Structure 1
Amino acid sequence: MGYRLAACAEMIYLDQPFEERVRRIHERGFEIEIWDWTTKDLRALADTGAVFSSMTGYVRGDLTTDDGIDALLESAARSLEQADALDVARLGLHGTGLGEGGLPVRPVETTSGADWLRAADTLRRVAELGERAGRVFTLENLNTAVDHPGVPFARAADTIALVSAVDSPALRLNLDLYHAQIGEGNLVDLVRRALPWIGEIQVADVPGRCEPGTGEIRYEAVAQTLRDIGYEGVVGMEAWASADSDAALDAFRSAFA
């Protein structure tokens, strides 16, 4: 397979300290994804020798309001500085900041044409930061039906529209297939359509957001599609372990072998 596999240390080995989670995932041969860098000892994580695939690329702000844009750009710049400690390749963004339980800090029912234009302009400015630093920001699609109600620009179709409009190598998609299955479905076609803009892919099964094989998505077919279209990026398991974390990683690897 041309792609590489990563696992999110925020969601498995939950009975272990965070550094030990990273070590175990690394020992199993996976790259590592983390979320909020402000809660981590980055030097200790770097000392594990793991390869860090992605982390959150901002800690506050949004894409469309004056104060939110300023906050997002400032925290994106700080995130780039911290990314050096782990040599993280990709830094994640969402349609707006997420608070407790993944709920948006600024929920939005509808987005106007002006909102779309401001979001694209903000993302252009974020991409410029990434270009200067030699790193890539990724805009993640989310679902609003189950996990993230009120998030603007949440659908995969929305993130594709924004990323393609900016058209910068420093802004790509984090195509999350768990969220896309809930919000849109038709994953094989989605992967094919999104390929020019994909920076990474994240997976979990539906329902439950656990490892592949626990729900309705036939990830073996998705994996074959990725091989067929020559995808060479990262596929990250951002999923809870349904039972044992080692078994969850085994199931993930088996689905994408």
Structure 2
Amino acid sequence: MSAPHGINPNIPHSARVYDYWLGGKDNFEADRRVAEQTMAAVPGVRESARNNRAFLGRAVRHLAGLGVRQFLDLGTGIPSQGNTHEVAQAVAPESRVVYVDNDPIVMAHARALLTSTPEGRTAYIEADVREPQSILEHPDVLATLDFTQPIALVMVAILMHIPDEDDPERLVKTYAQALPSGSYLVLSHLTLDLVPPQVAADYLEATRPQAMHRTPRTGERISRYFDGFDLVEPGLVAVSKWRDEPLFPDEAAWMYAGVGHKR
């Protein structure tokens, strides 16, 4: 893989590390080195990443089966197998999806790969999740999504990259307030609740020097994101346990996941 203009291949990036864990090819040596170092220090982190991706697919498929036809996917990441529009449009070809990310390398891949069915529509915008009004008022968002009809807000493995000083709970609330009743929130988040204390300490030590910000949060903190939503069964659970058996063995569960229905 050659580096696009403006991308420094010597600096690891969380999206490309995640791509490596998913078995993708859109990563550099620096990303692979960090990914392997983290895997060596943190048991099960790759399996948890893959289970997280599988959760995205299960949640989108479930909501499409319930009749949801609109999805706003924040923090898209590098396209991989089972992207939101692919899953939704396999159930309902008329589904409409907007992807949002602020990474140039993600944007380049998304423009090339995230294409819609003729019946539906897929849009991609480069924007910062921490600036919700710039997204909610973006012309491409308004041209693709009808905010009078239910929308699934997809925030899978994105809030863990937003530090407390940026008030992630306020961000989720701002997005949620723009959604009509009957909409959904699809969310997963890094946690240390589900691993032994020593494993959690090893994780923090292994990830401390990396040039990637991740904030693990407790289940109690993560549950606050669902204020104004009723959690769909089975509730907020380890990502591998949401409505299916895990795709990969996940003895060390690093992610919580849940889907909420807006009242």
TM over 0.5: no
Give the TM-score of the pair, scaled to structure 1.
0.36
Give the TM-score of the pair, scaled to structure 2.
0.35
Say which structure, 1 or 2, has more relative contact order (CA 8 Å, 6+ apart).
2
